């Protein structure tokens, strides 16, 4: 069996595939392949499987270029980069990497919450810029996290873990909105369910987004919804960039409609909406919420296990 990996990933999964006798070709470029490059690479050999990344747009053209490939193992929990309907039509299996990254993404979410509340990035820059002239009673005042309301938008695996941390780690009140109620977090963390996005936004001091990118969630946060947030509130996004209308967010931050934001994902990655990087009340990280050695290695193993299970005639454990 021949497998194409669209970009170098941690070797755990690659080694597992090799140990199981698979022939592996990894893209020689450590960067995102253009559509033409990916098509051309897939046409080099009759690949039986593809291990792809969230930066690869997988659609009919890609499936055409690799007619033998009956499984696309995505190295991510999100799979908005893959045309699932087209895969289904062609009988191609798509898998993802859920759960193994939940704790890490939730940790990064809290790193962002703490950083924006305590103005960590701004303060670090202040010191590096040589502006620190001594302790002062009102220097870089932030805001407490304890006792504040954490609004979770999308209380699935990651959202629920963020709720756990907020409740148990920081004594926050937990509120959430989801298309389906999460009874577990209501019971365990006394989370309050809000039946509308607007209701959640107006009740929260920190709003953390954990929905997948779907047609129904694209621009879920827009100008009118930002206006529902408290002027003292913060927006944290570690889900997918297009869930937030980035222009609307820029304007809300610039005009003081909300207090601040912390973003790991952007609407047009790797571009950042012009001007956002100049604002002091925003923290920007380059889509690294799952980027720990442990988690990226576990994702690599999981993607490989999905491929192996498929070729052993089983339903891959993480077929989406």
- Name 18's Cβ contacts closer than 8 Å, sequence gap at least 6: 24
Question: Helix and strand tally (H, E) in the chain?
Answer: 13, 12
Is residue 313 left, alpha or beta, with left meaning phi > 0 and alpha meaning psi from -120 to 50? Answer: left
Is residue 252 left, alpha or beta, with left meaning phi > 0 and alpha meaning psi from -120 to 50? Answer: alpha
Which contiguous run of DSSP H or E holds residue 51?
strand 49-52
Residue 26's DSSP bridge partners are 5
State in angstroms the smallest separation of the CB of 296 from ligand NAD: 10
Among 133, 136, 195, 216, binds ligand NAD (CB under 6 A): 216
* Contact status: 154 vs ligand NAD (CB under 6 A): yes
State in angstroms the smallest separation of the CB of 237 from ligand NAD: 8
Among 83, 178, 245, 305, binds ligand NAD (CB under 6 A): 178
Which part of the chain contacts ligand NAD (CB under 6 A), choosing from 5-13, 134-142, 178-186, 254-262? 178-186
- CA atoms within a 13 Å half-sphere pointing along the CA-CB vector of 87: 23
Candidates 319, 302, 306; CA nearest to 91 is 319
Print the binding letters for residues 221-260 with ligand NAD: x by CB under 6 A, - otherwise: -----------------xxx--------------------
Candidates 164, 182, 160; CA nearest to 172 is 164
Q: Does the annotation mark 287 as catalytic?
A: yes
Contact 223, 201 (CB under 8 A): no
State in angstroms the smallest separation of the CB of 122 from ligand NAD: 22
Among 7, 161, 240, 296, which one carries the catalytic annotation?
240
Q: Which residue, 155 or 257, is less far from ligand NAD as judged by CB? A: 155
Q: Does the annotation mark 11 as catalytic?
A: no
Among 51, 72, 93, 98, binds ligand NAD (CB under 6 A): 98
Among 155, 200, 203, 276, binds ligand NAD (CB under 6 A): 155
Only one residue has tokens 């809300």, namely 252
User: Where does this chain bind ligand NAD (CB under 6 A)?
Assistant: 77-78, 98, 101, 105, 154-159, 177-180, 210-214, 216-217, 238-240, 264-265, 287, 289-290
Q: Catalytic residue numbers?
A: 240, 269, 287
């Amino acid at each position: 069996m021949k497998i194409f990996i669209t970009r170098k990933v941690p070797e755990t999964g690659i080694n597992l595939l090799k140990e199981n006798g698979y022939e592996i070709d990894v893209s020689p470029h450590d960067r995102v392949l253009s559509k033409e490059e990916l098509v051309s690479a897939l046409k080099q050999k009759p690949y039986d499987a593809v291990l792809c990344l969230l930066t690869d747009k997988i659609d009919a053209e890609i499936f055409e270029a690799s007619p033998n490939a009956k499984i696309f193992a995505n190295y991510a929990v999100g799979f908005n980069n893959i045309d699932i309907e087209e895969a289904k039509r062609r009988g191609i299996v798509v898998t993802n990497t859920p759960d193994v990254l939940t704790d890490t993404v939730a940790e990064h979410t809290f790193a962002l919450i703490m950083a924006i509340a305590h103005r960590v990035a701004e303060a670090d820059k202040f010191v590096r810029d040589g502006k620190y002239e001594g302790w002062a009673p009102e220097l870089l005042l932030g805001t407490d996290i304890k006792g504040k309301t954490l609004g979770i938008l999308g209380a699935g695996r990651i959202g629920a873990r963020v709720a756990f941390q907020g409740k148990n780690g920081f004594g926050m009140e937990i509120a959430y909105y989801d298309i389906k109620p999460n009874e577990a977090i209501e019971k365990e963390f006394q989370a309050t369910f809000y039946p509308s996005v607007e209701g959640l936004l107006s009740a929260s001091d920190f709003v953390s987004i954990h929905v997948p990118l779907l047609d129904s969630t694209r621009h879920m946060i827009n100008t009118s919804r930002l206006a529902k947030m408290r002027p003292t509130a913060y927006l944290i996004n570690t889900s997918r960039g297009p869930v937030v209308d980035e222009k609307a967010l820029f304007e809300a931050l610039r005009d003081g409609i909300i207090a601040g934001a912390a973003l790991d994902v952007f609407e047009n990655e790797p571009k950042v909406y012009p001007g956002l990087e100049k604002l002091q009340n925003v923290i920007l990280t380059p889509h690294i919420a799952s980027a720990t050695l442990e988690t990226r290695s576990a994702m690599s193993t999981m993607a490989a296990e999905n491929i192996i299970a498929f070729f052993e005639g089983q339903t891959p454990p993480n077929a989406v």
